[in-house]
Structure 1
Amino acid sequence: MPSSTENVELSILMPCLNEAETLAVCIRKAQRYLERSGIVGEVVIADNGSTDGSQDIARSLGARVVPVAQRGYGAALIGGTQAARGRYVIMGDADDSYDFSRLDAFVEKLREGYQLVMGNRFRGGIAPGAMPPLHKYLGNPVLSGIGRLFFNRHIRDFHCGMRGYDREAVLRLRLVTTGMEYASEMVVRASLAGLAVTEVPTTLDKDGRSRPPHLRSWRDGWRHLRFLLLYAPRWLFLYPGLVALTLGGLSTLVLMLGPREVGGIGFDSVTMIYTSAITVLGYQAVVFSILTKLYAAREGFLPVGPRFRWLSNLFTLERGLVLGLVIFVLGLVVGIAQVLGWGGSGFGELDTIRATRVAVPVMLGLTLGFFTLMASMFAGALTVATRSTAHPTPMLDIPAVDETVAGQGEEVRS
Structure 2
Amino acid sequence: MLNLKGNKFTGPIPAQLLENQKKGILSLSYDVSGDEKKNNKVPAVVVSVVVSVLFLAVIYIGIWIRRRRRKLPDPAVEQSHTQYTYAEVQNITENFKKPLGSGGFSEVFLGNVGNSKVAVKMLSSPDQKAFENEVKILMSINHKNLTSLVGYCNDGEHKGIVYEYMANGSLDQYLSGKNRPDISSWVKRLRIALDAAQGLQYLHDESQKAIIHRDVKPSNILLNKQLQAKLADFGLSKAYPAEGGTHISTVNIAGTPGYIDPDYEDTKRLTEKSDVFSFGVVLLEMITGRLEDRNHTVIQFVTVNFKNGNFIQVVDERFKNKFDANSVWEAIRLALTCVSQTSSSRPTMIMVVNKLKDCLAIETYSHYADPDDSGDKLTTDPEKSLFPKPRRANA
Q: From the two aligned structures, give the one with the greater helix fraction.
A: 1
Query: Taking structure 1 as the reference length, what is the TM-score of the superposition?
Result: 0.26
More RCO (CA 8 Å, sep 6+)? 1
- TM-score (structure 2 length as normaliser): 0.27
